[in-house]
Amino acid sequence: MTDNILNWSKSILAISPARWLRLVQSVPMELLSMRPAENEWSAIECLQHVVDVERTSFPTRIKALLAEQPFAGFNPSDQPPKPAPTITLANEFNQLRQETLALFNQITEANLDNQSLHAEYGMVTMRQLVHHMAGHDLNHLVQAERALMQPFIQGCGPWVVNYEDHIAK
C-alpha cells in the first residue's frame, strides 16, 4: 500500500499551498477567523500553525533524518506570540513549502529507513515522517474546513442530522 509513499506524499505537499491560497482568497476573513468551539482553532489559526511547522519543524526533521541525527519535538503552544493572523500567511506558506519541497526532493527510497531520535516520540524513521507530513497537511485542511462549516451547520435546521460527525463541541 505504501510503495509509492514518496510520490503520494509529494502530491499532497505540492497541492496544499494552492488549496490554502484559494481558501483565503475566496472566504471572508470574518468566517476564516471564527473558532468552531472554545479551545479549537479557526481556519486562519490552522493556517498559522502550518506556517509555523513549515518554518521550523518539517525542514529540521528532514535534515535530521537525512543525517540520522536526533532532533527536538515541536509543540505549537511553545511558539512565541504573534500578531493576529492574516491571509498573507498563505503566501508565506507557499514560499516556505517550496523550500521544504526542495529538501523533500532529496529523500530517496534508500533514505526511507533512516532513523533518528525524536525528543518526544523516540526512534522514528524517514518513512514515518513522510507519512506524517502528508497526513498533517490534510488534517489541518480538514480542520480548517470543519471550522468553516460550523455557522452553516448551525443554521441548516432539520438537515443538521447530515452533519453530526462534523459538529464542533
- Tens digits of per-residue pLDDT, 9-30? 999 999 999 999 999 999 999 9
- Tens digits of per-residue pLDDT, 109-134? 999 999 999 999 999 999 999 999 99
Burial class (CB within 10 angstroms; exposed 0-12, middle 13-18, buried 19+) of 44? buried
- For residue 123, the domain's CATH number is 1.20.120.450
Q: How far is the C-alpha of 2 from the C-alpha of 127, rounded, in Å? A: 9
Count of the separate structural domains present in the chain: 1
Q: Are 125 and 110 in contact (CB under 8 A)?
A: no
Expressed as residue numbers, the domain containing 119 is 5-166
Q: What pLDDT was estimated at residue 95?
A: 98
Average pLDDT over residues 43-69: 96
Q: What pLDDT was estimated at residue 163?
A: 95
This prediction has a pTM of 0.93
